[in-house]
Amino acid sequence: MTKNAYFSGLTIPVLLLAPQLVITVLFFYWPASQAVWQSFLLQDAFGTSTEFVWFENYRDLFADPGYYKALINTAIFSSFVCVLSLSIALLFAVMADRQIRGAEIYKTLLIWPYAVAPAVAGVLWIFMFDPSLGMLARGLNSLSIAWNPRLNGNDAMTLVILAATWKQISYNFLFFLAGLQSIPKSVIEAAVIDGAKPMRRFWTIIFPLLSPTTFFLLTVNIVYVFFDTFGIIDTISGGGPSGATETLVYKVYSDGKGGSNLGGSAAQSVVLLIMVIGMTAIQFRFIERKVSY
């Protein structure tokens, strides 16, 4: 039974909310406002002079073919990582939810990759698939399969997709497994008594009951592929070869740090922020309607 707390004045509620409000303003709204302000400025290479240029940075950004290439790369990268990480994690969770020998060891091993930092995950995949160092890359070459992510853009994109997917499977697995274990066994048993086969039970009973978990993970995974995969891309390919793996968030970094184009980099940050907020709003507006709570 939930107990409600009532306050006679505003002092205590404000004091209780103050730490969270301060943290939100300091670490989200203030940096975001600085990025918006910076996107209207143009600085020289040494940062000694600043000029207010209105929307010039945005005009240059949308006239840059490299930006549209990064946009396409991001669409391909995010689609594959989201679909693969969610699908594989759901498959593993369904398998782990069964009564099998060594299930706890199986679950523990699946959770480990989540503790690996993105940059370290990138190094691990380089050791496996680097054309000169990687053991698996040597196996591919011995089978006459051309594999060189250093020179081939498709190979490089495949490698960063695999690494980013592997890194996210553990997180998705934990939530899917928790969702599966929260489904009442009586519902499944009733379906078994009615003669429903395993595949029919999954698609008509289990998967609809997992829809809140799936919706939550879809939102989190989109944020992950747009922002948290920077370390993996930087470690494995550095956005190359020839920008084949340069996503929007990596282009923000490369143009701002490598190109010293702080105004253009800030404009990209603002556009990226608007895109992610828009995609999240669309998810809540249209996809959440199909979720059964």
Residue given tokens 């993105």 in the structure block: 118
Q: What is the pLDDT of residue 89?
A: 93
Q: Measure the CA–CA gap between 218 and 37, rounded to whole angstroms.
A: 31
**Token pair recorded at residue 83:** 């679909």
Let me know: does 159 contact 238? Beta carbons within 8 Å: no
Q: Taking the CA atoms of the chain, what radius of gyration do you get in angstroms?
A: 24
Please report how many Cα atoms fall inside a 13 Å half-sphere around the Cα of residue 35, on the Cβ side: 18
Cα three-residue angle 174-178-179, rounded to 5 degrees: 115
Q: Measure the CA–CA gap between 251 and 44, rounded to whole angstroms.
A: 20
Shortest CA distance to 245 belongs to which of 187, 162, 166, 185?
162
CATH superfamily to which 48-290 belongs: MetI-like (1.10.3720.10)
Shortest CA distance to 74 belongs to which of 256, 282, 275, 280?
275
Q: What is the pLDDT of residue 48?
A: 75
Residue 283: DSSP 8-state? I
Q: Summarize pLDDT for 183-201 with one digit per residue, the tens.
A: 888 888 888 888 888 888 8
Shortest CA distance to 169 belongs to which of 177, 180, 181, 157?
177
Shortest CA distance to 283 belongs to which of 229, 209, 221?
221
Q: Summarize pLDDT for 282-293 with one digit per residue, the tens.
A: 877 776 666 665
Q: Which residues in the chain come in under a pLDDT of 70?
A: 1-3, 45, 47, 287-293
Residues with Cβ < 8 Å from 228, sequence gap 6 or more? 118
**Token pair recorded at residue 47:** 């940062």
Number of Cβ within a 10 Å radius of residue 106:
13
Q: Measure the CA–CA gap between 62 and 271, rounded to whole angstroms.
A: 10
Tell me the longest C-alpha to C-alpha distance in the chain. Answer: 77
Residue 255: DSSP 8-state? I
For the chain, strand residue ranges (E) read: 41-43, 50-52
Let me know: does 59 contact 70? Beta carbons within 8 Å: no
Q: Measure the CA–CA gap between 30 and 28, rounded to whole angstroms.
A: 6
Shortest CA distance to 232 belongs to which of 99, 81, 84?
81
Shortest CA distance to 132 belongs to which of 106, 113, 151?
151
Shortest CA distance to 58 belongs to which of 236, 280, 267?
267
Q: Is 109 helix (H, G, I), strand (E, B) or coil?
A: helix
Q: Measure the CA–CA gap between 153 and 140, rounded to whole angstroms.
A: 17
Q: Measure the CA–CA gap between 121 and 235, rounded to whole angstroms.
A: 9
Q: Measure the CA–CA gap between 101 and 49, rounded to whole angstroms.
A: 68
